[in-house]
Structure 1
């Protein structure tokens, strides 16, 4: 899972690439210029496949709900999970909880489906080991780590002073409060 190199004949890694990149690859795969000559029906089928893939690639970059995730979908879901987990981590973790969190993050960095992402996380954890003694410390470590990824991707950094607002409490204006809508 952690190898970032693919053999030439291997399919693209959906969780390593964006949907747009994957669709471009699929369109090239179905390019009639690269297909061997065959029957007219086969040629028309290849042309239809190419037109469909090209149309889909140019008209949308949104995944359908039942498609496997691309790197962007997986990344958002992963960061949502990691930040939320940190936000609900114990205020003061005992030794066993700290060991379990280190183990989870260490294992996670070996099994994350995007090999280059997993490798980057392992390297980052060597340079800056996770701080797991308190909820606040883990949330801040997670935010700083996420911001390093954001910088690598050309995205803006998140204000780490707002992690509780974003991942635990919600904004003070109450727009994310659902407790008022629950009937007991």
Structure 2
């Protein structure tokens, strides 16, 4: 009786077997690599690596060697590092508060003393120490105006020692205002080629050219 009960199902299964076979063969054909894929795998064996092999290979990669700066006297040229150093020092004093806190006074003192030993040009550091003995820093540390004027006087002492003209406080302030209006010292060094300088009006570009000539001064 059970066989009779399953009889219609067996008959239906037998009728579907050809269709099931066709579907299975089609699926196998799609999953099997074709001749072009097999040829590509043979020509490019790396493509057949497993994920684990790729991760193992990645772990063995070594970073490329980084270039190192070689020591040389050309790094000591004050015509290169001098103007941006002066721009930084003048900007530092111009940015001070009207009354300089004692903590900032100590930092400025340490900075100026450290420059005597750390300037790329050793003779420049010695000259800076001599100028600071002639023009002591301490009496001017307490106020912004005092520090601004002291830095200009120090710069003029260096200019005079190098055979260059001295600049009045008013001239320096006007030129620094023009330099910052045109994009800062990067625009001055680039000779007006930077984007910030090119965005300014012609008068600003002229002021930047004047500032570049004024501050291309070696310490």
Question: Which TM-score applies when normalising by structure 1?
Answer: 0.54
Partner of 2:126: 119
The answer for unaligned runs of 5 or more in structure 2 is 1-70, 184-195, 200-219
- How big is the alpha-carbon RMSD for the aligned residues of Structure 1 and Structure 2? 2.8
Higher relative contact order (CA 8 A, sep 6+): 1
**Structure 1 residue 156 displacement after superposition:** 1.3
Q: Using the alignment, how far apart are the partners of 2:93 and 2:182 within structure 1?
A: 19
Which structure has the larger Rg?
A: 2
Conserved? CA contact 2:118–2:125, under 8 Å: yes
Pick the structure with more helix per residue. Answer: 2
1:39-90: CA deviation from partner (whole Å, max 9, x where unpaired)? xxxxxxxxxxxxxxxxxxxxxxxxxxxxxxx320111111111111111122
Secondary structure at the aligned position of 2:129 is classed as: helix
- Give SS of 1:170's match: helix
Kept after mapping to 2: 8 A contact 1:14/1:71? no
Determine whether 1:155 maps to 2:164. Answer: yes
Contact kept? 1:139, 1:163, Cα under 8 Å? no
Indicate conservation of the 8 Å contact 2:100/2:143, yes or no: yes
1:140 touches 1:163 (CA, 8 Å); kept in 2? no
Contact 1:150 1:156 in 2 (8 A): yes
Over 3 Å off, 4+ runs:
174-178
Matched residue SS, 2:172: helix
Distance change (3 Å), C-alpha of 1:93 and 1:120: same
Q: What's the TM-score once normalised by structure 2's chain length? A: 0.46
SS in 2 for 1:136: helix
Counterparts of 1:154 and 1:124, CA distance in 2: 15
- Residues 1:93 and 2:100 are matched in the alignment: yes
Any idea what the Cα deviations from partners look like across 1:93-152, whole Å, max 9, x if unmatched?
A: 011111111111111221111101001111111221222211211111111111111111
1:128 aligns with 2:135: yes
Gaps of 5+ in 1: 1-10, 17-69
Q: How does 1:1-12 map to 2 (within 5 A)?
A: none
Pairs aligned (count): 114
Which SS does the other structure have where 1:156 is aligned? Answer: coil
